[in-house]
Amino acid sequence: MLQLPSSELVLAPGHAVEWRVHTSAARTAAPRGTAGPGVPEPSRPLPSYNQEYHFGAFAPPVGEAGAGGPERSGSRTDSYAGTFEIRGGLDRPALEAALLHCVRRHAALRCAFRPSPSGLVIEIAAPQDVKLEPVDHGPVVSAAAARAHAERFLRATDTRDGPWIVMGAMVREESTTVHFACDHLVTDGTSMMIVLNDIATAYEAFASGREPDLPEAGNFADHSRVERQRTVPVRADDGALDHWRGFIARNGSPFPRFPLDLGIEPGTGGPARNTTDTLLDGSGAAALEARCREAGASVATGVLTAVGVGMRKLGGPDVHRTLVPVGTRGRGRHAHSVGWFVNLLPVEFPVPEGADLARTVGAARDASTRMIRGGRVPFVAVLRLLAPEHYARPWPHAVNFFSYMDFRDVPGADRHADLEAGVYTSVPATNGMFLWLHRTHDGIHLNTVHVDNAQARRTRAALVDALTRTLENMAAHGTL
């Protein structure tokens, strides 16, 4: 399964059905207490730092610009989508039960959000108060109509006003495509695969007359509360921020600049282009893993090294600085939870010309270790304490951003091929270029989102070529 652009979500014609999430009773609303926005109250569920920042920075009021993009009449929404196939005739009651089971199971999917003078307010419906309203869109008889239906579906989530999750199916006599989308406010990439696995597993159970047997899923709101409680005592001079302070001093800001030409001026941006490329096949990825192990490093570190070296080959700096999303869900009670379990951390390491693979990968490994040890404070709290001018604002310029995931490790990965599963990203506008690298059983792949202009397209093509050649050299020859 690849992480693909939303433009590649293709539905075969069929009978289109949608399910909308509704609550039949009042939500668990945050009381209007006197505590500040960063201080938890026992009865007051609070959004995570990521949700607070994302809502404020990327869901501006009507008429304001978002993320360096053009003026828009409503809020901006970044979203993920997922699909899988059901072979044979559809058991519609079983699918409806599976979709409802998933939303009731995960608190993040039962959330609603609204701004208030004291900060973002989160409201969480009780599981028993969640209902699904089916909407029958009728037959979709052509490929063009199916594509238009998919496009409308992908645009249906809205960061500011909701809905934050939409679900549907394209039903045919011999197969059904189940599709769903979540606003980034309530999910991350791993969570989308958990949603996919939960729905597919629950459908199979209900269709067989059984209750779903799924691992316990913790409440994302509990994770957010603990995160805030742990962060409240931190002050700007706290030793927990030493790693960030050093990075900011050397970089000049919390945001490392994307080092290659994207053909845009600082502070500007526009519509985004999304593309996925395969960099190494399965055997090449296995060979790369062996080389990385010889150097005492992981594949993730090897890929990070390749990005730094590839950018330097294209004229980038000989010290690679980037922001890296790091998972915070752990392997305990939140391993199967849905939410936004990510912290954003800075890493920097030398990529000098002429250095060998072991030395450069070792530097990246050591830098990654320092990053993890020095990055326990949430990124949004760091901004508030060390760079308040950037707090609750879109990123100021094209930022160097690197993400790596091994899709073979997520819940349900062994079923992706059989389910014909897919995950998709939708980012309508940007002011830079983002790199999402991911490994599957078939190899290592790169999903890029960048501002859509001629220069950025040339830069992306050159970077894909440089990364491919660098990874091939690392895997086949142990060189850079």
Matching CATH topology for 3-222 and 236-477? yes
- Residue 133: both structure tokens together: 């309203």
C-alpha span between 399 and 101 (Å, rounded): 39
Partner residues linked to 280 by β-bridges: 444
Is the separation of the CB atoms in 312 and 463 below 8 Å? no
Residue 42 pLDDT:
42
Residue 57 pLDDT:
77
Residue 476 pLDDT:
97
Burial of 400 (0-12, 13-18, 19+ CB in 10 A): buried
- Three-state SS at 272: strand
Burial of 88 (0-12, 13-18, 19+ CB in 10 A): exposed
Buried b (16+ CB within 10 A) or exposed e, 1-14: bbbbbbeebebebb
C-alpha span between 326 and 190 (Å, rounded): 11
Return the C-alpha torsion angle 405, 407, 412, 417, nearest 10: 160
Burial of 173 (0-12, 13-18, 19+ CB in 10 A): exposed
Query: In CATH, what is the architecture of 3-222?
Result: 2-Layer Sandwich (3.30)
CA distances to 193, 300, 404 from 438, in Å: 13, 9, 5
Residue 58 pLDDT:
63
Residue 394 pLDDT:
85
Partner residues linked to 5 by β-bridges: 425
Nearest to 81 by CA among 213, 204, 215, 199: 199
Nearest to 264 by CA among 42, 61, 456: 456
CATH class of 236-477: alpha beta
Residue 70 pLDDT:
35
The residues spanned by each domain of the chain are 3-222, 236-477
* pLDDT by residue, tens only, the chain of 480 residues: 999 999 999 999 999 999 999 987 544 443 333 333 343 344 568 899 999 999 987 655 433 444 333 333 345 689 999 999 999 999 999 999 999 999 999 999 999 999 988 889 999 999 999 999 999 999 999 999 999 999 999 999 999 999 999 999 999 999 999 999 999 999 999 999 999 999 999 999 999 999 999 999 999 999 999 999 999 999 999 999 999 999 999 999 999 999 999 999 887 899 999 999 999 999 999 999 999 999 999 999 999 999 999 999 999 999 999 999 999 999 899 999 999 999 999 999 999 999 999 999 999 999 999 999 999 999 999 999 999 998 878 899 999 999 999 999 999 999 999 999 999 999 999 999 999 999 999 999 999 999 999 999 999 999 999 999 999 999 999 999
> Angle at the Cα of 352 (from 347 to 355), degrees rounded to 5?
110
Contacts of 276 (CB under 8 A, 6+ apart): 2, 3, 4, 5, 8, 445, 446, 447, 448
Residue 60 pLDDT:
52
